[in-house]
């Protein structure tokens, strides 16, 4: 299943990048996860303190931000070491069906070791916010740290009650399960999400002494913290990493910078990490000559309420940048089709795509006036399928459909052939007249003038 993180990694790298999902799957299967230095460090420190491991992440098999099998494997590893495990389960409903969490829970909970139990349940809308909606994050934080929130006898009961109240999985209010009493001094934290962008805020609230998003009633003194992957350079100061980033050289941004060219990365808040951190191979620091523009996403509860999001403002800034003549390359992400597609509202998704069309029209006009070229594509599907073909209900998840690629400008008579996301960076280099480095194994999608390639 495609997702924005992996999509942007491959777009920027110009090669097929091994995803974190199969990388971690392999470590689970061959047993090397248990021997991971960060895991062993947590075990040693928790044995010394007698504390509990707080294991948190998205409980689903969506495979976009996490996989529950990774959480289960970790719970078993710590259980075998005799360590108590409190699981903070975040429900999905976005990369999976809207009300599929009971099935995931039935698959997960019976396999837990006796030392592990689900301590809190919370929809990803709250725990995994990435738009600085701190009132949402606080609801998850209150449950995890203070054991404050709706009370439920079991995780299944919490989910059932939320569904009965009309809440889908994404929006399940934070619930405290059984006699869970919160985080304590001497405990430790481990997040099993492997995608970075939607855990940065909750982890900053849990770990950063200088956090200012909301007032924290207390801050337990944890003996250690770790994350499945590197989430940000800022968070590196507070937690270890089980699977460090794979070093990638000669990615698009680096090649453009080394050639002395200028580049601009543009997006609204929801997709800003993707055109920067992910597009640059998991590196936060801009390359020389790389500027960045972030337009704030609208402050609405869900984006079907404002499907145009910040596309008009983003398009305006893009036109200004094009007309300035300052940049050789502009990378821009319109978030609408993905973010509104996740709401399941067909009417809103149509308006979202219309907003992108309107923005693109302005950008194309500016590009043509400057004699430039534009390459338009997507890193995964979503809004093209808004009705679940099996249930007839709303479809809120990504799709595996091929995505379009359109070239405006370029050499007269130039054509495009089919390819993959890894071919986009070589195509952009070809349009810019820059040589493709050997490390980029993708190939340009541009065929000879007047002749399409197979």
Phi, psi of 202 (to 5 degrees): -65, -35
What's the rounded mean pLDDT across residues 235-246? 95
Q: Are residues 260 and 170 part of one domain?
A: no
Residue 125 belongs to a domain:
yes
Residue 270 belongs to a domain:
yes
Q: Are residues 290 and 383 part of one domain?
A: yes
Sign of the C-alpha dihedral computed for residues 71, 77, 78 and 84 taken in this order:
positive
Q: What is the pLDDT of residues 124-157, one digit of tens each?
A: 999 999 999 999 999 999 999 999 999 999 999 9
User: For position 172, which CATH number holds?
Assistant: 3.40.1450.10
What pLDDT, on the 0 to 100 scale, is given for residue 1? 61
Residue where one domain finishes, among candidates 217, 243, 269 = 243
Range of the structural domain that residue 79 is part of: 18-243
pLDDT at 454 over 90: no
Q: Are residues 27 and 92 part of one domain?
A: yes
Residue 4 belongs to a domain:
no
Q: Are residues 115 and 201 part of one domain?
A: yes
Q: What is the pLDDT of residues 294-342, one digit of tens each?
A: 999 999 999 999 999 999 999 999 999 999 999 999 999 999 999 999 9
Q: Are residues 296 and 385 part of one domain?
A: yes
pTM across the whole model:
0.73
What pLDDT, on the 0 to 100 scale, is given for residue 19? 86
SS3 track for 111-172: HCCCCEEEEEEEEHHHHCCCCCCHHHHHHHHHHHHHCCCEEECCHHHHHHHHHHCCCCHHHC
Residue 336 belongs to a domain:
yes
Q: Are residues 312 and 179 part of one domain?
A: no
Q: Are residues 168 and 115 part of one domain?
A: yes
Q: What is the pLDDT of residues 16-44, one digit of tens each?
A: 998 899 999 999 999 999 999 999 999 99
What pLDDT, on the 0 to 100 scale, is given for residue 452? 36
Q: Are residues 149 and 278 part of one domain?
A: no
Residue 398 belongs to a domain:
yes
- Say which residues have a Cβ less than 8 Å from residue 65's Cβ, sequence separation at least 6: 3, 57, 58, 95, 124, 128, 193, 194, 195, 198, 199
Residue 306 belongs to a domain:
yes
CA distance 147 to 158: 14
How is residue 177 written in tokens? 């399960």
User: For position 383, which CATH number holds?
Assistant: 3.40.720.10
Q: Are residues 405 and 312 part of one domain?
A: yes
Active site residues: 4
- Say which residues have a Cβ less than 8 Å from residue 88's Cβ, sequence separation at least 6: 54, 55, 56, 57, 119, 120, 122, 127, 140, 143, 144
Structural domain tally of the chain? 2
Q: Are residues 273 and 213 part of one domain?
A: no
Q: Are residues 268 and 307 part of one domain?
A: yes
CB distance 398 to 380 below 8 Å: yes
Residue 178 belongs to a domain:
yes
Q: Are residues 84 and 45 part of one domain?
A: yes
């Amino acid at each position: 299943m495609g997702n924005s993180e992996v999509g942007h990694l491959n777009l920027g790298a110009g090669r097929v990048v091994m995803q974190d999902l199969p990388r971690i799957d392999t470590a689970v299967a061959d047993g090397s996860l248990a021997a991971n230095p960060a895991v062993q460090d947590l075990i040693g420190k928790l044995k010394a303190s007698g504390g509990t491991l707080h294991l948190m992440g998205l409980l689903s098999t969506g495979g976009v931000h996490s996989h529950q099998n990774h959480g289960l494997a970790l719970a078993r590893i710590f259980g075998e070491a005799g360590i108590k495990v409190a699981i903070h389960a975040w429900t999905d409903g976005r990369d999976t069906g809207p009300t599929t969490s009971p099935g995931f829970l039935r698959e997960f909970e019976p396999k837990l070791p006796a030392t592990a139990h689900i301590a809190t349940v919370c929809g990803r809308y709250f725990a995994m916010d990435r738009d600085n909606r701190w009132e949402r994050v606080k609801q998850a934080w209150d449950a995890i740290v203070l054991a404050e929130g709706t009370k439920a006898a079991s995780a299944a009961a919490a989910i059932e009650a939320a569904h009965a109240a009309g809440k889908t999985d994404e929006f399940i209010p934070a619930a405290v399960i059984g006699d869970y009493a919160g985080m304590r001094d001497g405990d430790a934290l481990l997040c099993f999400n492997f995608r970075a962008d939607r855990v940065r805020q909750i982890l900053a609230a849990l770990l950063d002494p200088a956090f200012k998003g909301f007032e924290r009633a207390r801050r337990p003194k944890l003996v250690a913290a770790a994350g499945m992957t590197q989430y940000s350079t800022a968070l590196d100061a507070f937690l270890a990493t089980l699977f460090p980033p794979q070093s990638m050289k000669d990615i698009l941004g680096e090649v453009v910078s080394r050639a002395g060219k200028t580049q601009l990365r543009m997006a609204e808040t929801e997709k800003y990490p993707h055109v920067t951190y992910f597009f640059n191979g998991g590196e936060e620091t801009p390359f020389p000559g790389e500027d960045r523009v972030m337009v704030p996403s609208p402050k609405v509860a869900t984006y079907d309420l404002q499907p145009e999001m910040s596309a008009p403002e983003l398009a305006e800034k893009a036109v200004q940048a094009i007309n300035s003549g300052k940049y050789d390359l502009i990378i821009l992400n319109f978030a609408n089709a993905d973010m509104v597609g996740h709401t399941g509202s067909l009417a809103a998704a149509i308006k979202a795509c219309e907003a992108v069309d309107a923005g693109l029209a302005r950008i194309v006009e500016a590009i043509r006036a400057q004699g430039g070229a534009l390459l338009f594509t997507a890193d995964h599907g979503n809004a093209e399928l808004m009705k679940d073909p099996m249930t007839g209900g709303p479809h809120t998840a990504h799709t595996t459909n091929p995505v379009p690629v359109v070239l405006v400008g370029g050499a007269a008579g130039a054509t495009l052939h089919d390819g993959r996301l890894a071919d986009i960076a070589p195509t952009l280099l070809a349009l810019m007249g820059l040589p493709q480095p050997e490390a980029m194994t993708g190939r340009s999608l541009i065929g000879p003038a007047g002749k399409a390639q197979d």
